[in-house]
Amino acid sequence: MFITQVLNGLQLGSIYALVALGYTMVYGIILLLNFAHGDIIMVGAYVSWLVMAQLGLPPVLAIALSVAACTLVGVLIDKVAYAPLRNAPRLSILITAIGVSYFLENGAQLVFGADAKVVPAYTDLTTVQIAGLTLSFPSVLTVLVTIAATVALTLVVQKTKLGKAMRAVSEDMGAARLMGINVNSTISFTFAVGSALAGIGAVLYAMAYTQANPTMGMMLGTKAFVAAVLGGIGSIPGAVVGGLLVGFAEVFVTAIGLSVWKDAVVFLLLIIVLVVRPTGIFGRTMSEKV
């Protein structure tokens, strides 16, 4: 039972980590809390439902189209809603992000209805044998995919030309522009990568919980934001650690019979961390030049 709960915590925490990575990347570049990020997961889940349940196409195509749709939606949101407000006050951008979130939720409800849609299974494989233990295949797959995505993202940020551009824009957008870096393209690339991670998270979430509904991204996105803040928003390892902390907190509170308190415990954990260490576990203090 304990191993099962640990695996459940890893599975849920890994999904939060994937979403939190999108939050932390965008915030690290342009200091934007993209509250519409959770709703991009909802888009990915509905695409999977459409492809498999309505069109009868294979799961591999559903996965590819879900990730592609999330990536496209993320870039479009940046181009249409955020790019015109690059030099606007942060409060204006924050309100816009909340507006985009409500637009996606109500748009999905208008198109698909308010009832939850059942997402067909991506695979018939439900369990795997590892070291003599029978483990849930979706749980194991979620953990492995999250590890691979985190490693790949770290390599992109640290080793590629675009990754160097992202770090330069994060440090000083004006200086990066003077050095010939296309700031708008770099920001769009950041949104694309973060939204692709959300698309992967959507597939893994639908694999675990087999449903899609218009508001599914609201609480999921909020808890992923909590995870990003816990780990230190702007930090890739911090997003992963924060996601796992939130996942384990939820699972073990539910395991001891206090499932009605699981959301409260997550936000209580956030309050404690903000009081003890406001920058998060891996966060660093930012000094502003005058």
Cβ-contact 142, 206 below 8 angstroms:
no
SS3 category, 287: coil
* Distances in whole angstroms, Cα of residue 223 to Cα of each of 13, 215, 230, 249, 254: 10, 14, 10, 11, 16
Q: Does any domain span residue 82?
A: yes
HEC letters along 19-32: HHHHHHHHHHHHCC
Q: Does any domain span residue 256?
A: no
How far apart are alpha carbons 61 and 21 in whole angstroms?
Answer: 24
Q: Does any domain span residue 55?
A: yes
Q: Does any domain span residue 279?
A: no
How far apart are alpha carbons 91 and 93 in whole angstroms?
Answer: 5
The model's confidence at residue 77, banded by pLDDT at 50, 70 and 90, is: very high
Q: Does any domain span residue 266?
A: no
What is the tally of structural domains in the chain? Answer: 1
What is the chain's mean pLDDT, rounded? 86
Identify which has the larger pLDDT, 254 or 134: 254
The model's confidence at residue 287, banded by pLDDT at 50, 70 and 90, is: low
Express each pLDDT in 4-29 by its tens digit. 788 888 888 888 998 898 888 888 78
pLDDT greater than 90 at residue 92: no
- The number of CA neighbours under 13 Å toward the Cβ of 116 is 11
Q: Does any domain span residue 227?
A: no
Q: Does any domain span residue 250?
A: no
What pLDDT is stored for residue 104 in this prediction? 93
The model's confidence at residue 289, banded by pLDDT at 50, 70 and 90, is: very low
Using CB atoms within 10 Å of the CB of residue 136, give its burial: 0 to 12 exposed, 13 to 18 middle, 19+ buried: middle
- Of the candidates 146, 217, 169, which has an alpha carbon nearest to the alpha carbon of residue 225? 217
What pLDDT is stored for residue 285 in this prediction? 59
Question: What is the separation of C-alpha 268 from the centre of its chain, rounded to a whole number of angstroms?
Answer: 21
Express each pLDDT in 116-160 by its tens digit. 899 998 888 777 777 667 777 888 888 899 999 889 988 988 888
What pLDDT is stored for residue 42 in this prediction? 93
Domain containing 156 equals 14-217
Cβ-contact 194, 28 below 8 angstroms:
no
What pLDDT is stored for residue 110 in this prediction? 93
Cβ-contact 144, 11 below 8 angstroms:
no
Q: Does any domain span residue 189?
A: yes
